[in-house]
Structure 1
């Protein structure tokens, strides 16, 4: 007789000696001993009997489980059940979680559909800018302060937005034939042309014809960030984008309508482009930020092309600014609540539905569905078009629901321990990350479309002054970099980012699509399920830790070092390489079947594969970056194209070429202003 049968027989004998009246009427097993296999399952006995735990079952490594074997004793004997006390507490907690998630879904939906931006209150300092300006000598001040220091701070931009909002509300800034903005719209606002004529010029004239930047900082402010734009965007939209993308350690930014003195003639300052305020500020800046608009491509204006040329020549990293879409945070929260609600609702189903056989089938199906929706959502990143956008949103919702059901079906008969917490964080984290990636993809696609609208070539870019145009093209031709300027602008329009690294990569791989975005889903999944959980799972083998078990100790130590190494590498990389490092995590998905096969093998085969091969490979590729990876013969360019989904994106763009409503109609370009260079 096997040891298991002997133990069951012994347990039955002990139980029968302690009480009588075993009943198998409500048990799943025909044996005298009954079995409870879930925390949400009661220890059920016939009327007049109470459950008595005979023994609790553990995993092979000694970890606890909700499985218990029990008998049923007559309740008349005064016996109080010691089985199933967890059920009420667990079901109560799950019920509270379901109610909270449903309230969260309702609250987020209300915010998404009903919220409007509020008019911020004016501060005392705001009022003093307009009513008690310090009178300065504008012409003299702009001669004494270096042009690279005509900058505004982040707080200056936020204050300027508040002031313009109140000026619009008070009727000091009104719509014109040229700019028919909606005064009640606090998301877009009037264009730079309108704000300049009706607000900046009057306020700075009262301050001594100084620029807004030197009115706020008479001694100047070092330029760390150069902002290039076309004056066609709304002021509120412009500030929101810049604020959301402001570099952490940047002190000042050069913004032409705030940095240049709008009441002075600066024609002599821009007669020579290489010595203009634009060039001086660009040379001082460590980063360039592009602000697109829905009216026209900023590269349809020659001064913006010239700024791109300077940034390329001086190897300045260029990023495209983006702001969170209205209701973005509420949408992310709602997806997380949907995931939690689906898992909670499933755990509250009647016990009959959670039968072992049906549960196993449902668990498999829900995992397949969750993986399918997640992969579909990832494949649709970077796509544009109304129909594909609707499919993408539905895929994220389907992934959230199926991930929740997958977790619930797996935990129904398992213990609520560290592994359950890992799986919970994985499901909710991946669902939320899918929604974040979807939103970022929409914003990036919109930016690409805006940068391409109305653009034909750099040579077709317009300029308000023919002499400026001749001077700019003369400098570019003298440097023999006309082709490089076209290439740089082309890469930026399609990739939302520009750097030497990406330019060299594209030369080997061809177009890659948007490269500014790093994939939150893949990063969250790889960290929680692979890197982050490896030390915890290995520590579960505590009884095997000994001096003689060298490999287990080594695997645990290495896995505990690899995760912070990867996170540290990810934190220090610049934006272009960080996006590549995030995409490189797809290696885990490529080798997932191999990991599953190794996991079913004997011993620590899966961990040897993960810790000695896959993690070092992922870290190495992330450290190499796209340019060096693309140099690997044969496989390098193919791998880079694969992780950027270059071919998939190209196919999706062919499927649906409908323009988004958010992109706006084709509008006539505003006439150039004498100071809007």
Structure 2
């Protein structure tokens, strides 16, 4: 027995439903995050009560049986057996206006191909819902399925799709396991509108909590193994030989942790990153308990025996161990995004010219409106597939020959470590310098990293999504360079007992944060515009592995031709 929606405040006649859709602008036919969760619950209830049964005529229904808990019944079936009957009872209004008759402002436009199962679709949308987005426009819920939808599509540019997309901030593309959404012409038209209006296009992805939990458990277990090993080593009798052995073990573990961190933040290969993160967690866990400086061996760590510097070093090493867990988070997220990008490529032949449409007249109108912009739309889709995000800035960067592979993927490990725990330590160190009335030059040098951290946090918070990803990658790459340069120097100072009050270390840290802040303020466009080295630097910041060392020669040649063409046009006009 079909159950009516409990939140419907009134029932409409057909004329009232038509009038409602005429009075509320199409871009306001939106739903909320809570609405989608409610729809998921209602579909699950309908499946359990046997309301959703596959029809013999629909291949999609047979491919996605309702009993499939992961993917669920096809959207075609849900529309036919649930959405249409429910909205029919409400007077033929759309599902969105049935829930919100006054309409809602559009923040998020959802682009999908109707090929996916409803649970697959809703899970990806709910998991990938952008922060700050309040309401979403989704065609199966926005359009009145029981009214004449064809009348709304006579002009693609004035269709509800186009109007809603123009009003939105984000476009969320939902991949599916059957085919690319860009084999469907209406989805290609949505990509065209997004490109023309400069929207940020994102790829929805499924929840990866299970894979994340497994990876974190493995990494934490290795870190715990390192700590247990350190406790066993602590019980070793402290003779002169054993003391020397402890120092060697600490140094070897430190070298392993540093090498794993640098390689893990720069390599692309998923398997290598997993192994490096595990080794790094093992070494960092051992160091957190076992760390000894080269000079001044300490017995079992009673805090009364530990000076401030050594306590600080142990805290930093503990943060280092946590960093490897966050690097696993980055790795698993990267793997999940790559999986969705592969789904988005399935069946896509590289151009929207090959996309199909169920109605020939719609296809003719869409192709006429896109006109000569097919190549530009293809390029925007290519950027989306490569970077995981497509924005005007990323498209400009790609046109300049900079590789943008995974440029839309945020890397949280290094920024989280540098800005939060290490930022707190730097602040406490600065306060100690002020209270102890150290020389003002020393205080100024110590204050620069603190001020830059605050600036970076503000810039990251206020930046657009693509620039935020760039800044996080920038911090990761520059820190890898900083460690490569400073680690052997610091080890030499430590070995020679030169580290006490060494001003060069504080200056190097200040220089690192000043450089990072400078590039963060420049952003991708500003970095790209730097003379001589701009594209190379941007490639180094955005890329991993070989991608960080190789510019796109074809794009460079194209950009050069465009520049020469623009110059010749300017001279001709003169």
TM-score, with length taken from structure 1: 0.71
Match of 1:595 among 486, 506, 511: 486
CA contact (8 A) 1:518 1:582 kept: yes
In structure 1, runs of 5+ residues without a counterpart are 1-125, 384-388, 653-677
Match of 1:443 among 314, 336, 352: 336
Match status 1:460 vs 2:354? yes
Structure 1's 169 and 651: CA in aligned 2 closer, same or farther, altered over 3 A? farther
CA contact (8 A) 1:370 1:406 kept: no
Q: Distance in 2 between matches of 1:403 and 1:160?
A: 46
Tell which deviates more after alignment, 537-546 or 395-404. 537-546
Instruction: Report the CA distance between 1:332 and its aligned residue.
Output: 5.5
Q: Distance in 2 between matches of 1:424 and 1:373?
A: 14
Secondary structure in 2 aligned to 1:371?
Answer: helix
Instruction: Report the CA distance between 1:295 and its aligned residue.
Output: 1.3
Match status 1:212 vs 2:99? no
Instruction: Report the CA distance between 1:407 and its aligned residue.
Output: 2.2
Name the structure 1 match of 2:25.
146
Name the structure 2 match of 1:396.
277
CA contact (8 A) 2:474 2:542 kept: no
Q: How does 1:551-562 map to 2 (within 5 A)?
A: 551-562=441-452
Name the structure 2 match of 1:156.
35
Tell which deviates more after alignment, 186-195 or 330-339. 330-339
CA contact (8 A) 2:541 2:548 kept: no
Tell which deviates more after alignment, 169-178 or 371-380. 371-380
Q: Distance in 1 between matches of 2:403 and 2:447?
A: 41
CA contact (8 A) 1:429 1:524 kept: no
Which of the two has higher C-alpha Rg? 1
Name the structure 1 match of 2:60.
178
Q: Distance in 2 between matches of 1:559 and 1:378?
A: 22
Match of 2:139 among 238, 241, 256: 256
CA contact (8 A) 2:219 2:277 kept: no
CA contact (8 A) 1:300 1:460 kept: yes
CA RMSD of aligned residues (A): 2.8
Name the structure 2 match of 1:39.
none
CA contact (8 A) 1:339 1:427 kept: no
Tell which deviates more after alignment, 451-460 or 506-515. 506-515
Q: Distance in 2 between matches of 1:399 and 1:215?
A: 54
Match status 1:633 vs 2:523? no
Q: Distance in 2 between matches of 1:444 and 1:649?
A: 17
Name the structure 2 match of 1:623.
521
Q: Distance in 2 between matches of 1:140 and 1:229?
A: 28
CA contact (8 A) 1:228 1:304 kept: yes
Structure 1 residues 226-257: Cα deviation after superposition (integer angstroms, max 9, x where no partner): 11111112212222222223233333211001
CA contact (8 A) 1:641 1:647 kept: no
Q: How does 1:90-101 map to 2 (within 5 A)?
A: none
Q: Distance in 1 between matches of 2:433 and 2:343?
A: 55
Name the structure 2 match of 1:583.
473
Name the structure 1 match of 2:453.
563
Structure 1 residues 569-611: Cα deviation after superposition (integer angstroms, max 9, x where no partner): 1111111001110111121221224334665366311112321
Name the structure 1 match of 2:81.
198
Structure 1's 597 and 525: CA in aligned 2 closer, same or farther, altered over 3 A? same
Name the structure 1 match of 2:287.
406
Name the structure 1 match of 2:394.
502
Structure 1's 650 and 305: CA in aligned 2 closer, same or farther, altered over 3 A? farther
CA contact (8 A) 1:339 1:431 kept: no
Name the structure 1 match of 2:11.
135
Match status 1:520 vs 2:407? no
Q: How does 1:47-196 map to 2 (within 5 A)?
A: 129=5, 134-137=10-13, 138-176=17-55, 177-179=59-61, 180-196=63-79
Secondary structure in 2 aligned to 1:226?
Answer: strand
CA contact (8 A) 1:335 1:432 kept: no
Instruction: Report the CA distance between 1:426 and its aligned residue.
Output: 1.5
Match status 1:361 vs 2:248? yes
Q: Distance in 2 between matches of 1:186 and 1:333?
A: 26
Tell which deviates more after alignment, 154-163 or 181-190. 181-190
Structure 1 residues 585-640: Cα deviation after superposition (integer angstroms, max 9, x where no partner): 121221224334665366311112321x2211101111211222122223221122
Secondary structure in 2 aligned to 1:481?
Answer: helix
Name the structure 1 match of 2:569.
none
Secondary structure in 2 aligned to 1:584?
Answer: helix
Q: Distance in 2 between matches of 1:563 and 1:570?
A: 10
Q: Distance in 2 between matches of 1:618 and 1:213?
A: 46
Match status 1:481 vs 2:409? no
Tell which deviates more after alignment, 169-178 or 578-587. 169-178
Match status 1:423 vs 2:322? no
Q: Distance in 2 between matches of 1:649 and 1:443?
A: 20
Name the structure 1 match of 2:571.
none
Secondary structure in 2 aligned to 1:158?
Answer: helix
Q: Distance in 2 between matches of 1:638 and 1:260?
A: 47
In structure 2, runs of 5+ residues without a counterpart are 293-297, 551-574
Q: How many residues align?
A: 516
Match of 1:471 among 349, 361, 365: 365
Match status 1:377 vs 2:269? no
Q: Distance in 1 between matches of 2:278 and 2:223?
A: 12
Structure 1 residues 175-217: Cα deviation after superposition (integer angstroms, max 9, x where no partner): 4543333544433212211211121111111111111101101
Secondary structure in 2 aligned to 1:319?
Answer: strand
CA contact (8 A) 2:73 2:118 kept: yes
TM-score, with length taken from structure 2: 0.83
Q: Distance in 2 between matches of 1:205 and 1:441?
A: 43
Instruction: Report the CA distance between 1:464 and its aligned residue.
Output: 1.0
Secondary structure in 2 aligned to 1:318?
Answer: strand
Match status 1:645 vs 2:543? yes
Q: Distance in 1 between matches of 2:251 and 2:397?
A: 41
Secondary structure in 1 aligned to 2:171?
Answer: strand
Structure 1 residues 434-462: Cα deviation after superposition (integer angstroms, max 9, x where no partner): 11011111111112211211111110011
CA contact (8 A) 1:396 1:435 kept: yes
Structure 1 residues 627-664: Cα deviation after superposition (integer angstroms, max 9, x where no partner): 22122223221122122225535999xxxxxxxxxxxx
Instruction: Report the CA distance between 1:423 and its aligned residue.
Output: 2.0
Structure 1's 164 and 358: CA in aligned 2 closer, same or farther, altered over 3 A? same
Instruction: Report the CA distance between 1:525 and its aligned residue.
Output: 3.9
Name the structure 2 match of 1:433.
326
